[in-house]
Chains A and B, each alone.
Chain A
Amino acid sequence: MATVVGLYTAPISVTITLASLASSSGLTSGRAGTAIDLASLASGTVPLDMMLAGTIMTGTSPTAGVIQVWLAGSIDNTVWSGNLPSTNGAATPVPIGGGLALAATMLTTATSNQAYPFLTRSLGAIFGGGWAPRYVNVFVTHNTVAALNATGGNHSISLGQWNVAQ
């Protein structure tokens, strides 16, 4: 008799350049990552569920503020919710509230170079339908006034996967 088991596969790093990301007072502009095709992951399987986890570090002499991680989705890698770009670069999604899903909000302090780790809910839950669209991407914005920490290695966002196998 076949046995079905749960399986955690290796996290996928999201390509997004967060070093020195400028502040956005209204949390409307920031950085998009490079989209992930959930049907073409290195593991060769489509994950049943996923979470985002990561760390984002504030810069020097920030003010107390907010760092947000939003999610965009697409079914064809052409039309994206929020009109978010699908490649790593500056972005001002329109409209951010109507098209993107809020994955994480971190309230930050005035401490310089402070790392803020986060773990989101299930992507399926965040998108509200119990499953994620085939293509997903992240958008990061903050309003801490000072640009984020200038060292790229101090920031990371990864996609954790869960699947079943027999």
Chain B
Amino acid sequence: MSVSFNNSGSTYLMEAGLPVTTTPLSVGMWVRPASVSGLFVPFLFYASAAPGAYQFYMYLNGDEFGAGAAGPSGNPDNGFGAAGVVAGAWYFLLARWISNTSRRYAVLYPNGTMLTLNQPGNTGTVTVDTLTLGGTYPTSPQPWSGDIAEYWVTSGDIWPSGQDMPAHTLHWLAYNGPFSMPHIAGAVREYKPLLQGGPDSYAAWENYTAGARPTWTAAGPPLMGYPHPPLAPGYPRPSDVRIVA
């Protein structure tokens, strides 16, 4: 299953004490929008002392995905330039915040189509300390409406910085997971499959964290969502593989 967020602004998962706080970092997750009318944010990294000023995020604006980052030198923010996202289908998101001046994003559509977004523009140094899954920061909620599964974050970029990951590799990563690719497995700093809703959504046994145990708060809490995206047989979990930190 997955975890469902109800667009209420009071249902989200929040993590303090992040294992990765600045660039370069890469994030992957599956999302299933329940609506394509409005502005919905599946996840946001931010600095708790100035949440509007330091951010990494992706969003769904109507039926188009977008992404951005905010820092002292700017707030590059773009849509993917292609609409057609439909409610009720699973999409895999990959975000690579590579440096102050380079970001690359990708979305894998249910039909196998890949969209990419290359986002230059200077943010200055962005340092974050909090992650919200299912929305933005509580004082300015733009909550997610739908489901999220298989969240993970790496320290470092997972692909050469000047290149987009090819569709065939993104497809493999989405359906087989970060622990199926040894060069990514060793860089994963947190993995949260979000197999259940309710209080178990932040149960320790669901998490892999390379550093200290994360502090998760479940507001709402989010409930059990729709069936998990269709992953490949043998999708390795953290316990299945060697972790080279």
Residues on A lying within 8 angstroms of B by beta carbon are: 26-28, 64-66, 68, 95-98, 102, 104-108, 118-121, 125-130, 143
Contact = CB atoms under 8 A, between A and B. Distances in A.
Contact of A107 (B167, B180, B183, B240): B183
Interface residues of B, number: 23
B171 A107 contact: no
Interface of B: 159-163, 166-169, 171-172, 176, 180-184, 232-234, 236, 240-241
B241 A102 contact: no
Could you say which of B168, B169, B172, B234 has the most chain A C-beta atoms within 10 Å of its C-beta? Answer: B168
B181 A102 contact: yes
Contact of B233 (A97, A108, A118, A128): A128
Contacts of A28: 166, 168
B168 A97 contact: yes
30 contacts: A27-B166, A27-B169, A28-B166, A64-B160, A64-B162, A66-B163, A68-B169, A97-B168, A97-B172, A102-B169, A102-B172, A102-B176, A102-B180, A104-B182, A105-B181, A105-B183, A106-B183, A107-B160, A118-B182, A119-B182, A120-B182, A121-B180, A121-B182, A121-B236, A121-B241, A128-B232, A128-B233, A128-B234, A129-B233, A143-B163
B171 A65 contact: no
Contacts of A104: 182-183
Contacts of A127: 234
A95 B234 contact: no
Nearest to A93: B168
B90 to A, nearest CB: 17
A27 B166 CA distance: 8
Nearest to B242: A121
A68 B182 CA distance: 12
Given A97-B171, A98-B168, A125-B236, 12 more contacts: A27-B169, A64-B160, A65-B163, A96-B168, A105-B181, A105-B182, A118-B182, A121-B241, A125-B234, A125-B240, A126-B180, A143-B163
Contact of B167 (A97, A102, A120): A97
Contacts of B168: 27-28, 95-98
Contacts of B241: 121
